[in-house]
Structure 1
Amino acid sequence: MLANSIIPCVAALVSLAASTETHGGYDFQVRFSNTADPETTDIKDAYEQAAAEQASTHLQARINATGIAADCLKSNTGPTPAELYALKDCVAADNVGNFFTLLADDIEESNTFWDTVVSQSTTDRTQWVPARMYTKAYFDGDLLAAQFAIWTQSQNADDANNHANPEHYYKKTTVTGLTSQSSDIFEGWGGVLSTFGTKRTNFTVPEYTTPTFGTADYPEEWAIDPSFLLIFQRIGPKVLKSGSEATFGALHIAVRDLAADEGDEGKSGIEVYAAVWYPPWDQASEQSRMEFTDNYLADEAHHMVVEVINLTLQAQKDCSTGLCVA
């Protein structure tokens, strides 16, 4: 009887261990929907490594082809995320605009891709499709939701951008009001889980503010659990910066405090929700539509997991030294 009672307990512990990944001394759990169990395979390290290998190869090829920042290839050319981030630091040290010149063809390719998606999609946003993730971060009081929310509006967050993800190249945030800001962003995702490859896109989020759901722009279906207080939510359109200047998505980020009895760790923390809602490309071929909704958006959801884990870790370091307040 005693042996039989132990078996379920052991199984539960194995399940918990498998659903938790640890980075920087803190535990994280990832879900890709609000009703899903935590992922049982670590997301961050494998995806970040695969993306870093692709980004490093591509960036080195563009440096060799153009001669821009060629001295950066004398070192920092390994395939690991840390080596890629060092290479990007070197490229940006001379002129952050180097990325826009090196990857100009990628920006044009991305503009064409997104213009096609927008033109071949319904405009009814209740029919749009999400790339999204929920990540619980068990900081146990070392980082609070208010601290993270404030930190994301700071220059420190912009400075951390190029180390947040292999395909991040530029971010500038401008605070426009007490509950609003705007951003200029150059980043890419894709090619790890999808056959589309990476679409390196330069876009703006011209109005990033507290959401009001139940409108044509932000349907009620996009609202999330009220435990995510509106004061710690922001939403805004993603607009191509060149070409057609089309709105090709809507970014929604939220954070909340997580009580110790809400998670599986017995520790408190924060939970971050990140979603981008996209036109469904419902007028494309079935093959393209399925690749877009099933794999390409999964690429971005995994990309966001890497981004959130790296940024929350950096926010905790910055906040512990007084570089954010709440």
Structure 2
Amino acid sequence: MRSLFTATFATLATAQSTPWPSFGNWTETAGGYDFILSGPAKLGTKAMFELDRCHYVWNLLNERTNCDERAPSDATECMDQLFQRKTEIGDQGFLDMFEREIIEARQFWYEVNDKSELDKPETWKAVEARAVVSLPNITAWAFSAWSSSPRADAANNRENAEHYFKHSDFTTGSGVSRILEGWGGTITNFTIPNYSAALCAGRAMVRPLPEFLIKACGDKNLVDGKDTNFGVLNIAARDVDGASFGQPGERGIDIYASIWYGGAISEEHLEAERQHVIIEIVNMSLKAQQDIETGAFAVPAPPTSYDVGLHDLRFESRNADLPVCQTSIHSAVHPMDASLKGSSGDFVGIQHSRSTCKIHDTSTSRGLSTNKRSLLSLGFLFHEVYVRRCYGPGLNPALALTPSFQEMSIKYNKLAGKHVLVIGGSTGIGFGVAEAVLSAGASVTISSSSGSKLSKAVASLQATMPSSSSSQKIQSFTADLSGPDAEERLEGVFKQAGPIDHVVLTAADSLSLMMLQDLTPDKILAACQMRLVAPLMAIKVASRYLPKSNESSFIITSGSAAHKSTSGWSVVSYFTAGLQGMVKQLAVELKPLRVNAVAPGHVDTELWDHMSAEEKQAMVKGVEEAVPTGQFGRVEDVVEAYIWLLKDRNATGTVAATDGGSMVV
């Protein structure tokens, strides 16, 4: 009997394709197609892809467990024993053991993401692949239903040749699986949504769309407390008859997949990834076949609006209980109607997920007739569409439906979705920075030497965070930087906080105001710890975790004392001037990471609490009489300088003065 797992491949790629590699003795080329002739396709992939990777991880395990156990020469045996070793070590132990590789891989994906701009589709590259698979129990609807279930995560398949050491979770509603993936000589630690619609605002997509939009857009996310996207996945399927793939009398499904990567990816990597996508498609279809045959997955009845002959799926009746999003759509070819038409309208392939929906319009494309036609009759057409996030309750629907508004939001609101660490963020200017980045749509982590101050600050931040910002996070970690172990404590903060895009350092101690004759070496060194040593250690640690990109930055707090002469401020002036010189040096040393400083003048913070009320009142009066603005500095004003430096990708080696004009008088 002809193998149940015979598959035919036709591939599409935006990059120049290299010859398709042979899967050992498992394949045969005929008529321009590659046929997998025998057994599950994944067995063929093992012979080619798995053994080297298994040995790679095996050798690392030997090195880190002081073991000299020899790896099996057979791929299947090697994987079996490797899983056994992983089980003995435990999931967390395994993650800890490969922490270095995880950090390196995370950095690679940061660089990919940071070099591709969301509002410039030309900076993204697509890997496209298509497979026609002939399996007895698989229809496009069955594959779509299976792919929308938790069982569909290809990484959950222990037999999958491309993944290792997975903590699989089939629990309905969990939404993700955790993966430690051996890939291309690196190890990546991330989660993948189980084929549910994901937030993909601003991602440009050009895709041929068969009738089942299984996954309109799915971002792989690094597992570190923040959604860090490095690729956008599109999957769709349609029914085809045997004549389409040279097997009259049979039927199959045509599965399309594309992954969008940042422009930093090399052409060689694109080709390797295209091959990887083909293997994933085949493995998914085989797993769907197995689950359906064994009863592990029961195919539900098609939705009432699905007509097998029409091949035109509408999701409205299926998702009648879900809120309808209002989505702005802008075509790269010409503007498209931005409103939903309802269940009898022109849109197909609508998927809802929380506050997000993805829409594909089949009625208008490249000069075609506006009469509604089925996707099958249209064939594989490319639509250039920006898919924007639907705005949640409380925002102006008129704005949500205006493409120019959303484009401007993405263009100028550069902190939305970012993660900012504020060292010294429990009080004063640091707390103000935390408030400001939250209001700009970023997540924030604050650290301080005082646990009680952190608790109070977190409560205040949570009370002011917009109710619609469910994706934003607030974290806090205690870290005392006044001792010789400052670097170690900072390392702990970065490890716990997860991926960070920007760091702001505002931590300081009480002012070290001393006249020259009162200075001693011990007093100078004590003042040096928080005002020079701690900032240096902070940027040393941060440079190991921040993405190497001009979209990330480190901001140090200096002061106007570097240039303004005041009696008793010689030590403070010495260190603030040193910080400003350090900023200019490190801006070159750490490029393209941006390094800047803010130099506040007098600001009304807890820094002056050591003064009596009378002393402070007199100081404030003197400052306000002296500076051109006539106002003692306020936190909410000074913080704007930090926000500018966080957002301006063209600013580095800069010292931003916010001192009421004290330098000009």
TM-score by length of 1: 0.69
- From 56, 59, 64, give the equivalent of 1:58: 56
**How is 1:190-201 mapped onto 2 (pairs within 5 angstroms)?**
190=184, 198-201=185-188
Quick one: structure 1 residues 206 and 233, their matched pair in 2 at CA, closer, same or farther if it must change by over 3 Å? closer
**How is 1:54-133 mapped onto 2 (pairs within 5 angstroms)?**
54-67=52-65, 77-94=71-88, 95-124=90-119, 126-127=121-122, 128-133=124-129
The higher-RCO structure (CA 8 Å, 6+ apart) is 1
* Equivalence for 2:254: 271
Quick one: structure 1 residues 151 and 40, their matched pair in 2 at CA, closer, same or farther if it must change by over 3 Å? closer
* Equivalence for 1:250: 232
* Equivalence for 2:179: 185
Deviation of 1:238 (Å) = 1.9
Q: Deviations over 1:9-68 (max 9, x none)?
A: xxxxxxxxxxxxxx9642212233189995558797775433212212111112212229
Quick one: structure 1 residues 92 and 318, their matched pair in 2 at CA, closer, same or farther if it must change by over 3 Å? farther
Aligned to 2:270, what secondary structure does the other structure show?
helix
* Equivalence for 2:7: 28
Larger radius of gyration: 2
Aligned to 2:208, what secondary structure does the other structure show?
coil
Judge conservation of contact 1:169–1:186 (CA < 8 Å) in 2.
Answer: yes
Structure 1: tracts of 5 or more residues without a match: 1-22, 191-197, 282-291
Quick one: structure 1 residues 110 and 155, their matched pair in 2 at CA, closer, same or farther if it must change by over 3 Å? same
Amino acid at match of 2:57: L
Structure 2: tracts of 5 or more residues without a match: 18-30, 300-665
Aligned to 1:123, what secondary structure does the other structure show?
coil
* Equivalence for 2:133: 137
Quick one: structure 1 residues 34 and 116, their matched pair in 2 at CA, closer, same or farther if it must change by over 3 Å? closer
Aligned to 1:253, what secondary structure does the other structure show?
strand
Q: Is residue 319 from structure 1 mapped to residue 292 from structure 2 by the alignment?
A: yes
Q: Deviations over 1:249-298 (max 9, x none)?
A: 112222332222322222211222222211112xxxxxxxxxx3311122
Judge conservation of contact 2:179–2:189 (CA < 8 Å) in 1.
Answer: yes
Amino acid at match of 1:53: L
**How is 1:172-321 mapped onto 2 (pairs within 5 angstroms)?**
172=169, 175-176=172-173, 181-190=175-184, 198-205=185-192, 208-210=195-197, 217-219=202-204, 221-225=205-209, 227-230=210-213, 232-242=214-224, 246-266=228-248, 267-281=250-264, 292-321=265-294
Amino acid at match of 2:271: A
Aligned to 2:189, what secondary structure does the other structure show?
strand
Aligned to 2:56, what secondary structure does the other structure show?
helix
Judge conservation of contact 1:28–1:138 (CA < 8 Å) in 2.
Answer: yes
Deviation of 1:80 (Å) = 3.9
Judge conservation of contact 2:143–2:288 (CA < 8 Å) in 1.
Answer: yes
Whose helix fraction is larger, Structure 1's or Structure 2's? 1
Judge conservation of contact 2:42–2:159 (CA < 8 Å) in 1.
Answer: no
Aligned to 2:258, what secondary structure does the other structure show?
strand
Percentage of identical aligned residues: 22
Whole-Å separation in 2 of the counterparts to 1:38 and 1:189: 29
Judge conservation of contact 1:239–1:247 (CA < 8 Å) in 2.
Answer: yes
Quick one: structure 1 residues 46 and 205, their matched pair in 2 at CA, closer, same or farther if it must change by over 3 Å? closer
Whole-Å separation in 2 of the counterparts to 1:276 and 1:206: 15
Amino acid at match of 1:256: R
Amino acid at match of 1:274: A
Judge conservation of contact 2:54–2:82 (CA < 8 Å) in 1.
Answer: no
Whole-Å separation in 1 of the counterparts to 2:242 and 2:12: 21
Q: Is residue 164 from structure 1 mapped to residue 164 from structure 2 by the alignment?
A: no
Judge conservation of contact 2:42–2:160 (CA < 8 Å) in 1.
Answer: no
Whole-Å separation in 1 of the counterparts to 2:243 and 2:62: 54
Quick one: structure 1 residues 272 and 104, their matched pair in 2 at CA, closer, same or farther if it must change by over 3 Å? farther
Whole-Å separation in 1 of the counterparts to 2:238 and 2:159: 24
Task: Count residues with an aligned counterpart.
Answer: 274
Deviation of 1:110 (Å) = 0.6
